[in-house]
């Protein structure tokens, strides 16, 4: 779904809970061009939701409604239940796209030569790197605003909005949204005070005090400092096929933007991924990918779009997982399509992201 740019004509959230299963399924009828499409998102609650569309091309409202009703009926027949009448997964503020002036602190990647040092020191805490979308949430009185990694106002999943509304203070929380859960890792403002100049460990400690316990939609990300704890957690995350880890200098202030190299906050990913510009639509649901090398857009290979995803348009930004890239051709090997990225500008789609075959260069 793309709730940040369109308001659904009709939508629903369905839940399935039985034994250890706790699954979410969302569907919506959304405007697209001169017609309408039926979008869906599904997965385990608290995890990254898989998204796609049941109508690869826009259709009439009557046809979209028919597809939507059939889809919802099929899920209910399988045991899913509605959360309520006319549930809206995302709540819009009417200010979507406005620049808030807030800027994220972005991370550089490290390779294995740096990993051992960071795992064994006590200057950097380690956190799990969640596989979602960067989301900051600001609460000022009764007004709650979502902010993406580019500093623009975005719609917020309603469960996250309700959880933040329970905080009795004005705050600005930084985190990663996975489905309808915000995994919070930084506290930038508190009761009107700017905390960006304080040590990270102090900001993180404040976050633990602000977030109420037992909220499924708002959780703080733990931070391990002891080398023994870091090594144990690292092995658990890696063997559990998680995305990666983040290392943060516990004494460093918040610094917006991304340094040319290094920095106080670093990431190490267990799988490679990068953001690409779609340069052409090929036959059989495939698109050509490109990356900027300086000011030049160069080819980076192709990727097949799964049937449950709409084929992206030329010029759109998409995320793709891959094994490695060839220095000779620039193409990526074993690409797997992840989805569109509306929060990343094309200028960020550079060859510097790539990990090349036979080297230890890490993806950004």
What confidence score (pLDDT) does residue 97 get? 66
How much is the pTM? Answer: 0.62
pLDDT at 89: 45
The whole-number pLDDT of residue 84 equals 44
Q: Looking at residues 287-292, what average pLDDT do you find?
A: 96
Q: Which pLDDT score, from 0 to 100, does residue 360 have?
A: 42
Please give the Cα distance from 150 to 104 (Å, whole number): 7
CA dihedral 112, 114, 115, 117 (to 10 degrees): 140
- pLDDT band (50, 70, 90) for residue 314: very high
Answer whether residue 279 shows pLDDT above 50: yes
Confidence of residue 20 (pLDDT cuts 50, 70, 90): low
Give the Cα separation of 127 and 222 in Å (integer). Answer: 6
Query: How many whole angstroms separate alpha carbon 246 and alpha carbon 270?
Result: 11
Mean pLDDT for 345-357 is 89
H/E element holding 118? Answer: helix 112-120
Residue 361 has pLDDT above 70, yes or no: no
- CA pair distance 92, 323, nearest whole angstrom: 38
Give the chain's domains with CATH numbers: 10-89 (2.20.140.10), 108-269 (3.30.470.30), 272-353 (2.40.50.140)
Contact 336, 318 (CB under 8 A): no
CA distances from 156 to 94, 181, 219, 313 (A): 12, 10, 15, 25
Report whether pLDDT(300) > 50: yes
Nearest-angstrom CA–CA distance, 146 and 92: 9
Three-class SS state of 285: coil
């Amino acid at each position: 779904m793309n709730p940040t740019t369109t308001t659904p004509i009709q939508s629903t959230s369905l839940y399935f809970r039985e034994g250890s299963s706790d699954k979410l399924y969302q569907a919506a009828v959304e405007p697209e061009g001169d017609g309408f499409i039926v979008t869906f998102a599904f997965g385990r609650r608290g995890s990254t939701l898989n998204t796609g569309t049941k109508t690869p091309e826009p259709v009439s409202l009557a046809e979209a409604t028919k597809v939507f009703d059939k889809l919802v009926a099929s899920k209910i027949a399988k045991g899913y239940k509605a959360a309520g009448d006319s549930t809206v997964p995302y709540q819009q503020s009417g200010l979507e796209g406005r620049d808030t002036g807030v800027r994220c602190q972005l991370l550089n990647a490290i390779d294995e030569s740096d990993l051992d040092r960071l795992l064994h020191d006590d200057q950097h805490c380690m956190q799990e790197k969640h596989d979602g979308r960067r989301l900051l949430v600001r609460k000022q009185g009764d007004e709650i605003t979502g902010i993406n990694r580019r500093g623009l106002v975005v719609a917020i999943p309603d469960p996250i909005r309700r959880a933040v509304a329970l905080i009795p203070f004005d705050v600005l929380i930084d985190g990663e949204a996975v489905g309808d859960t915000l995994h919070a890792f930084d506290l930038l403002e508190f009761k009107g005070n700017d905390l960006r100049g304080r040590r990270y460990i102090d900001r993180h400690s404040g976050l633990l005090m602000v977030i109420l316990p037992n909220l499924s939609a708002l959780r703080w990300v733990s931070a391990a400092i002891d080398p023994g704890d870091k090594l144990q957690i690292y092995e658990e995350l890696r063997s559990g096929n998680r995305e990666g880890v983040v290392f943060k200098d516990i004494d460093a202030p918040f610094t917006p933007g991304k340094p040319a190299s290094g920095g106080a906050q670093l990431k190490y990913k267990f799988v490679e991924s990068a953001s690409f510009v779609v340069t052409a639509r090929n036959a059989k649901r495939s698109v050509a990918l490109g990356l900027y090398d300086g000011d030049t857009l160069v080819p980076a290979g192709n990727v097949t779009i799964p049937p449950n995803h709409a084929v992206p348009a030329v010029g759109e930004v998409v995320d793709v997982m891959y094994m490695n890239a060839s220095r000779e051709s620039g193409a990526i090997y074993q690409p797997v399509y992840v989805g569109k990225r509306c929060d990343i500008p094309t200028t960020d789609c550079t060859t510097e992201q790539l990990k090349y075959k036979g080297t230890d260069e890490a993806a950004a």
